[in-house]
């Protein structure tokens, strides 16, 4: 009987070791945002300018009391994002990585998923212009693993951008950030 119990215990440990969860691959969060370039209104295409027909306000204290600003004086950020890494980071119990990548860009960048954030040269957060996204996406193009987006308008010139992840089942508390070089500015 002792021998049978010993074999059962050994088999249990062998079986348990074989069934353990695979370790999650570490994400290099610094590789999610590949590049960022500051644009002005004059750098936008005619179609992108048309997207801004009803624009522009920022919200310093609440979502009812907006402060208007001129879109012609606004800044925009053209950025390249590794959508595969961002989907891995953003995967949640609600949306799998495959769903985030295959069901259109709104699943990866849309409302309630990820928020755009920007910081100015005084290290102050630039006021948001969109209630659910933080800042508006006015253009997006996907080429393989890279999404090129234009985000804005921003009331101030940013020096850093980040993506605030709303929900991540595998990588909580990771925030992709990118320092925007002054050399990348077109103005």
Contact status, residue 59 vs residue 65, Cβ threshold 8 Å = yes
pLDDT above 80: residue 131: no
- Residue 70's Cβ-count burial label (10 Å; 0-12, 13-18, 19+) is exposed
Q: What is the pLDDT of residues 44-71, one digit of tens each?
A: 999 999 989 888 888 887 777 888 999 9
Within a domain: residue 7? Answer: no
Tell me if 18 is assigned to some domain: no
Q: What is the pLDDT of residue 2?
A: 57
Structural domain includes residue 19: no
* Whether pTM exceeds 0.95: no
Domain interval for residue 180: 32-184
pLDDT tens digit string along 140-176?
999 999 999 999 999 999 999 999 888 888 888 889 9
**Token couple for 83:** 């959508």
Q: What is the DSSP letter of 74?
A: -
Using left for φ > 0, alpha for ψ between -120 and 50, and beta otherwise, residue 5 falls in alpha
- Judge whether 115 lies within some domain: yes
**How many percent of the chain have pLDDT more than 70?**
79
Quick check: is 16 in a domain? Answer: no
> What is the H or E stretch that residue 40 is in?
strand 33-40
Q: What is the mean pLDDT of residues 116-144?
A: 89
Residue 139 lies in a domain: yes
As for how many domains the chain has, the answer is 1
Would 9 be classed as within a structural domain? Answer: no
Mean pLDDT across the chain = 83
Q: Is 64 a domain residue?
A: yes
Most confident of 49-58, 97-106, 109-118: 49-58
């Amino acid at each position: 009987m002792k021998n049978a119990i010993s074999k059962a215990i050994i088999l249990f440990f062998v079986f348990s070791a074989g069934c353990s969860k695979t370790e999650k691959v570490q994400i290099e969060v610094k590789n999610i945002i590949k590049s960022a370039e500051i644009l002005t209104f004059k750098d936008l295409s005619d179609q992108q300018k048309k997207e801004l027909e009803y624009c522009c306000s920022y919200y310093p204290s609440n979502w009812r009391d907006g402060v208007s600003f001129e879109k012609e004086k606004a800044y925009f950020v053209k950025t390249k994002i590794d959508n595969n890494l961002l989907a891995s980071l953003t995967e949640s119990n609600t949306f799998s990585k495959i769903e985030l990548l295959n069901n259109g860009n709104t699943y990866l960048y849309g409302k309630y998923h990820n928020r755009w954030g920007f910081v100015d040269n005084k290290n102050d957060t630039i006021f948001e212009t969109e209630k659910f996204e933080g800042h508006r996406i006015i253009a997006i193009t996907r080429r393989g693993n890279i999404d090129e987006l234009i985000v804005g308008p921003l009331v101030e010139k940013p020096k850093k951008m980040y993506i605030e992840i709303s929900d991540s089942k595998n990588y909580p508390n990771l925030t992709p950030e990118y320092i925007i070089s002054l050399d990348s500015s077109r103005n």
